[in-house]
Structure 1
């Protein structure tokens, strides 16, 4: 069970995981050694799964976001594994979700430009049959927060 200090640590680490333990400890009113032990426990308990660097997409030459909704006539376990493998082979697809409703999947794709989407589309349809594919170009990112709320755990 998480207490208020655990939640504060998780919240701060989500905003900047590169912060020094001494500084983090001061922010949550712990000694550096107690703070380090809590972080180790949170990692061991699976609250912290990994620490990563977040890159600037524009500086990396990937300013364009395309959301692609996919409908398929196939729902077998074998097809799903082929779909997972196809997604894994395309690094520009940074998120994929299975959905309820009118479509089966939604993909978030980052690209250098809209024209590059055609290459991604061709990679997918060459790998497996898709019933319907629709692409939606993001005009503006209105909210992009990666930190999770820490009040539910």
Structure 2
């Protein structure tokens, strides 16, 4: 039997990857501070708040869609249904996109430019560690339907 058919990941890595990215950004700012211009700080903080709020809305919407379709939210569990509705019409990874937006938003809100860099690194790491394996899992479970979905929907945005 195909190993990807059982479950895509042995451990749910993405939340830990993004948590490590945020922690790394704060450590980098402590040891290698990047100066932030004093002008219009409120704009950066407001933009950060908007990104964080957008991330929360996107994540809740995606999780609610998965629950409504009676499939798992956890990336280390077997998918029972191919979900192509809700935010999954716009992106194949709305939860991970939400994590990325939240990481960048935190950086803007607390004026830590390192969060932008670590958000990009976390996105790359998540693609390598989780997204590719999840896509193989979905391809082995849903075949041509998943291929059609991939052809019509972007991986990220």
The answer to whether TM tops 0.5 is no
Q: Which has the higher strand share?
A: 1
Larger-gyration structure (1/2): 1
TM-score band by shorter chain is: under 0.3
Higher RCO (CA 8 Å, separation ≥ 6 residues) = 2
Higher helix share: 2
TM-score by length of 1: 0.25
